[in-house]
Every structure is written in structure tokens, then in C-alpha cells.
Amino acid sequence: MGSLADQIAAAWPAVTTFRTVSTGAAGLAPGSATPGTSSSAPQIESITEIVLPDRKRQLTTSNGEVQEEYLVADGKLYARGPQTQALPATPVTGDWRLVDPAAVDAQSPQASLISALMAPVQPPYFGLSADQRERDAKPLGSIAVDGRSCQAYQIVDTTQTGERIDITLTLGSDNLPCSIETKAGGTSFLTIYTFNIPLSITAPVATPSPAS
């Protein structure tokens, strides 16, 4: 796994922008769904866009309904959506609010997400522990991801509670991730990466009031 992480890190300086689209089902307990029947677990989609070095946008929906949207620009964090209403924030324009990350309750559901949004952008698998670097990455051969030919690897990890995590990582010919699929217990998420695409992220700006 360490070797793959090093390949990604070596290719990372060529990245100027990227988008990730993560989809899956969350909140489904193992064995709670009967085979052959549809699951009632919410279908989650999270779209993240990055303009390096530090501009970010993230939109999360559940069953197609917007839950929260965040934007980071010029070191400031903006938010809107029903899941963000309890955050300490000041209205800016429309339904956008300027959030004070330092005032966010560390126990709130959004705390870890906001911490990640405000942190510097790093390549996937940056900062692996010595133990994680030694974990096997079993080659699975070439697979197609969004029309790209990518090399797939299977990695087995464990959660803090000892639960098995199955990861399928695919890399393109440029050594950047094509996709990462993670399965653990009752959750399954697939993240697809697209690099160096046209993106523009700007802070929400309040519209000046008309002169009297």
C-alpha cells in the first residue's frame, strides 16, 4: 500500500483541479436487508470540487435532496442547507452563511467534516502509518472507470473497532486515482476522480443595496 501511496504522491504536483463524486448507501446494518428486496438505507451522493491550493466546494444529497453545501475560499468557510442551520454563522447573501470554524462544537455531526474542509489539500493515502504502508495491495488487473483504463488493487483494512474494510483502488496511467470503492459492514461507497478539469470557485458576495 505504501508503494501505491508513493506513486500517487509523486504524480500529485501535476494536479491543478479535481472533482470527486462519491455515491453509496449509508446507515444499513448488516443483515437488515432481505436478499432480493430493496434497501431503505438513504442513497448518499457527495460531490467535491477542488481548485488547488485551497479553494473547495462540497455538496451532499440524500435520496436526491440537498442536505448541506460548503464552500471554502480565501481561508473562509461558507455553508447552506438544512444540515448546517445549527452552525455558528453570519448571513452573507441568499441562503449562504459565513461559518466560524473555531466556534463549531467539536461534538457536532459537522465537526470532522469542517475540520477536513479547512485542512490543506493532500493526495489520497497521504500520511499512512508504518503498519498501513505494509499492508498488501493485491493486483486485480485492468478495469474501465468512466471510459478510462485503470489498474485495480484490492486492499484489506480494519476499523478502530476491528471491523473489516474492503478497499478497491484503481489508478490511471498517470498514477492518479481513477476510483476508490470502500465496503465495511452495512456501508458501501464508490468515489470517482476526475483531474485537471475547468473549475472556478469563488466566495459568495452580498449584493450591494441600491443607492437611495
pLDDT digits (tens, 9 = 90+) for 54-85: 999 999 999 999 999 999 999 999 999 999 99
* Rounded Cα distance, 11 and 135, in Å: 21
Give the pLDDT confidence of 40-56 residue by residue, as tens digits. 678 999 999 999 999 99
Question: What are 20-38's pLDDT values in tens digits?
Answer: 999 998 654 444 344 444 4
CA nearest 15: which of 152, 209, 172, 190? 172
pLDDT at 180 over 50: yes
**What would the DSSP string read from start to end of 90-149?**
EEEETTEEEE-GGGS-TTSTTHHHHHHHHSPP--TTTT--HHHHTS-EEEEEEEEETTEE
